[in-house]
Structure 1
Amino acid sequence: MRWEQLFTDLEAQFAEQEAADARLEAPSRARAEHGQVRLADRLRGARGGQVSLRCPGVGELAGRVVDVGVDWVLLAEAGERELLVAQRAVAAVAGLTAVTAPAGEESAVDRHLDLRRALRGLARDRAAVQCLLGDGGVLTGTIDRVGADFVELAEHPLDAPRRRGAVTGVRAIALPAVVAVRTA
């Protein structure tokens, strides 16, 4: 009977020590898990919701989160305009919910669909756009081509189609200078 009582007592002490260790470890484990979350994961968790992105040089860009790529966020603004925002230009985000998409949720195709490829889609569509630049400038026209580190924009008024007579010039814009591209 003494041995049974001793073993029971030792098992209770061991279980209590394990529970105490788990309580001490839980906050540390949660911090480590939070340390793996990227802004893209938080934004993917906000799909369909309204957010406001603070971008230096441009200010607040707001809309409904449509999609999130490896280095861009697509917002739907009022009036059916879309806004493709470079994630590197985002300083702060308002409107996020508690939902976070699992890290690495994007597919292999998503990982290859970077900002340059998204801009090439706009060039292919010959869409009239506004390029919002980090220095606060806004250039309008049609993206003619996208290089390794630049975008070439045929400048013309948004309300005029890209025709030789409407184009006032062609400008190469360094990709790091592009904060967002808004469709007309």
Structure 2
Amino acid sequence: MRWDDLFEDLGAQLELMERQELAAETAEHVRAERGRVRLTDRLVAGTEEPLRLRVRGCGWLEARLRDVGTDWLLLEQGGGQQPGQELIVPTAAVTAVEGLTRRADVGEAVGSRRFGLRHALRAVSRDRAVVRLHDVDGDHVTGTLDRVLADHCDLTRHADDEPRRPSATRGVLSVPYAALALVRRL
């Protein structure tokens, strides 16, 4: 009988070690998977959710996430019964996000995720919308995006309550994308 007890005890120890090894492997696998999750993946999972974002040069913004591009976010501030104000924020200007879901949509090709910042700015330029560009240093300028180039854009400056006309323009400002904090459609 003692041999049976010994073999039973050894079997239980072996089973315990196998369970511990499996638990350790599972934990390592989870850590490895989490290590592949990007901020963009979590943002895609949080589309249409209200977020609080800290944007370099602008401080904290409260807005609803509308879309996620490869290197930009489309946000809507305000809203309610009427459409809110649209903002394009380069992800490089985002320094913190509050309110993200714990989920992540890794590898999802949702919405405009495949388009870069230049594509988003080209759409604004085509609309001839009046915008306010905020830079990462906290300054801003108002006008119309006239040209969207490889690493910068040209903004024809004019008052936000005036259409872009030669008599109303105050010059053309070239802004590198690396200096952009947000683009607010007025």
**Between Structure 1 and Structure 2, which shows a larger proportion of helix residues?**
1
User: Counterpart in 2 of 1:168?
Assistant: 170
User: Counterpart in 2 of 1:153?
Assistant: 155
User: Counterpart in 1 of 2:76?
Assistant: 76
Any idea what the Cα deviations from partners look like across 1:33-65, whole Å, max 9, x if unmatched?
111110111111211111111122221122001
Percent same amino acid at aligned positions?
44
Alignment partner of 1:91: what SS?
strand
User: Counterpart in 2 of 1:128?
Assistant: 130
Contact 1:73–1:87 (8 Å) recurs in 2 = yes
Distance 1:107 1:63 in 2: 19
Give the aligned residue type for 2:126: R
Alignment partner of 1:74: what SS?
strand
* Post-superposition offset of 1:10: 7.0
* Post-superposition offset of 1:13: 5.0
TM-score calculated relative to the size of structure 1: 0.88
Gaps of 5+ in 1: none
User: Counterpart in 1 of 2:141?
Assistant: 139
For the aligned residue pairs, the C-alpha RMSD in angstroms reads 2.4
User: Counterpart in 2 of 1:94?
Assistant: 98
User: Counterpart in 2 of 1:21?
Assistant: 21
* Aligned length, in residue pairs: 182
Q: 1:156 to 1:109 in 2, by over 3 A?
A: closer
Any idea what the Cα deviations from partners look like across 1:87-117, whole Å, max 9, x if unmatched?
011110011122x232111269732x10011
Contact 2:49–2:64 (8 Å) recurs in 1 = yes
* Post-superposition offset of 1:5: 9.6
Mapping for residues 39-50 of structure 1, pairs under 5 Å: 39-50=39-50
Q: 1:108 to 1:139 in 2, by over 3 A?
A: closer
Gaps of 5+ in 2: none
TM-score calculated relative to the size of structure 2: 0.87
Distance 2:147 2:72 in 1: 18
User: Counterpart in 2 of 1:119?
Assistant: 121
